[in-house]
Amino acid sequence: MTEPLVSRMRAFGTTIFAEMSALAVQTGSINLGQGFPDTDGPAAMLDRAVEAIGSGANQYPPGPGMLDLRQAISEHRSAHYGLSYDPAGEILVTVGATEAVAASVLALCEPGDEVIAFEPYYDSYAASIALAQARLVAVTMRPEAGRFTFDPDELRAAVTPRTKAILVNSPHNPTGTVFTREELAVIAELCQERGLIAVTDEVYEHLAFDGVEHIPLATLPGMRERTVMISSAGKTFSVTGWKTGWVCAPPALVTAVQTVKQFLTFTSSAPWQLAVAYALRHELGWVAALRAGLQDKRDRLMEGLAAAGFSVLKPAGTYFVQTDIRPLGFEDGLELTRRLPGLAGVVAIPTQVFYDHPERGRHFVRFAFCKKDEVIDEAVTRLKRLSA
């Protein structure tokens, strides 16, 4: 029998997250790889989901999403960013941000079109672009003054007549960078000069630290009308398993994305939608406390990783810390992370798998700090075996 998988997807096997999480289970290791918290979201929000199930909200919700959630998203965008989106035609609820990105790329890209993404990039981006038979063009982010950033000239040089869109993830997974207004202005100028669409993944929008401001690209002059703005409840409210995301964009772009989305999942769980609508209106104080707690956890893990011998870069947002493994005598992050359960009883993620140019990220390893303090402390104790 010939290979049944279509050729454009043969480069994509089991995701690194599934591989490493399975390795954690098999070896009994501490999982600082996959970015999911080990505590639940706000209790009142969880109660709303239970109440919704008990009250009969268990059938298909409307294709665009429950109106209550679309209204809550609209209120949130207006209150936090001064952006006005009409719940009736400019907001679409999706099965997490991953589906939102996939549906957007499938809706907006013809075969052969090019999509720019900043590497290292979240792994679903490459798969979504391949599904659309488009081509990913990677612009490399490199450490500079303690944070990852991109070269504006490299970004401009990456645009060709085939370029259709730029994928912008800020706060950025896996580097932890929060793009500055100056960096976003470069992207905005290029989009307007070359007629490009911006697809923005902003799932960590409320998880920026040290007073750093998350600035949506759509707030920059001339960008609302050409931006597909994506976010979700998973990271904001610590319910990654609910897979409740959304798209905010002008009507023509939302209609395009919904046309594809309706044939992927059609719609998503009504109880979660109603609970998230409640949370967007009433639980942002809980989110502020979460953010403060995560900042402390970030600092706790960074200190421990440095004591264990890693060179550590300080993230301005997300769940993740990037480390350089070379001070410990290692060169290959993929090799190290596969050995790490045996060496130290800890699982992490090799950053090189998020690059089109793996050699540029070969010496970086990503650790997640969205865990209980005692889990972080035990992981650090184990990791100190490496320097020994």
CB proximity list for 46: less than 8 A, separation 6 or greater: 40, 275
pLDDT in tens, 175-226: 999 999 999 999 999 999 999 999 999 999 999 999 999 999 999 999 999 9
Distance CA 359, CA 56 (A): 53
Closest CA to 205 of 169, 240, 181: 169
Q: Is 387 helix (H, G, I), strand (E, B) or coil?
A: helix
pLDDT attached to residue 3 = 86
Q: 321 lies in a domain? A: yes
Whether omega before 174 lies within 30 degrees of 0, making that bond cis, reads yes
Helix (H) or strand (E) holding 77: helix 67-81
pLDDT attached to residue 58 = 96
pLDDT attached to residue 354 = 96
Q: Are residues 175 and 210 in the same domain?
A: yes
Q: Are residues 117 and 228 in the same domain?
A: yes
Distance CA 141, CA 213 (A): 20
The pLDDT confidence band at residue 350, using thresholds 50, 70 and 90, is very high
The pLDDT confidence band at residue 259, using thresholds 50, 70 and 90, is very high
Of 281, 314, 346, the domain-final residue: 281
Q: Residue 90 sits in a domain of what CATH number?
A: 3.40.640.10
Q: Residue 17 sits in a domain of what CATH number?
A: 3.90.1150.10
Q: 309 lies in a domain? A: yes
CB proximity list for 92: less than 8 A, separation 6 or greater: 64, 65, 100, 246, 247, 254, 257, 258, 261
Q: 54 lies in a domain? A: no
Is 34's pLDDT higher than 90? no
Q: Are residues 146 and 235 in the same domain?
A: yes
Q: 340 lies in a domain? A: yes
Percentage with pLDDT > 70 across the chain: 100
The pLDDT confidence band at residue 14, using thresholds 50, 70 and 90, is confident
pLDDT attached to residue 388 = 74
Parent domain of 176: 59-281
pLDDT attached to residue 17 = 87
Distance CA 376, CA 130 (A): 36
DSSP β-bridge partners for residue 320: 368
Q: Are residues 72 and 192 in the same domain?
A: yes
Q: Are residues 275 and 309 in the same domain?
A: no
pTM for the model stands at: 0.96
Summary count for the chain: helices (H), strands (E): 12, 14
pLDDT in tens, 91-137: 999 999 999 999 999 999 999 999 999 999 999 999 999 999 999 99
Identity of the amino acid at 71: Q
Q: 48 lies in a domain? A: no
Q: 50 lies in a domain? A: no
pLDDT attached to residue 304 = 97
Is 30's pLDDT higher than 80? yes
Percentage with pLDDT > 90 across the chain: 94
DSSP β-bridge partners for residue 232: 245
Q: Are residues 308 and 271 in the same domain?
A: no
What is the domain count for the chain?
2
Residue 77 CA from chain centroid, whole number: 19
pLDDT attached to residue 65 = 98
Q: Are residues 329 and 312 in the same domain?
A: yes
Is 13's pLDDT higher than 90? no
The pLDDT confidence band at residue 2, using thresholds 50, 70 and 90, is confident
Of 248, 281, 314, the domain-final residue: 281
Q: 47 lies in a domain? A: no
Q: Are residues 348 and 381 in the same domain?
A: yes
pLDDT in tens, 141-180: 999 999 999 999 999 999 999 999 999 999 999 999 999 9
State the average pLDDT for the chain.
97
Q: 52 lies in a domain? A: no
Of 217, 252, 281, the domain-final residue: 281
Q: Are residues 25 and 93 in the same domain?
A: no
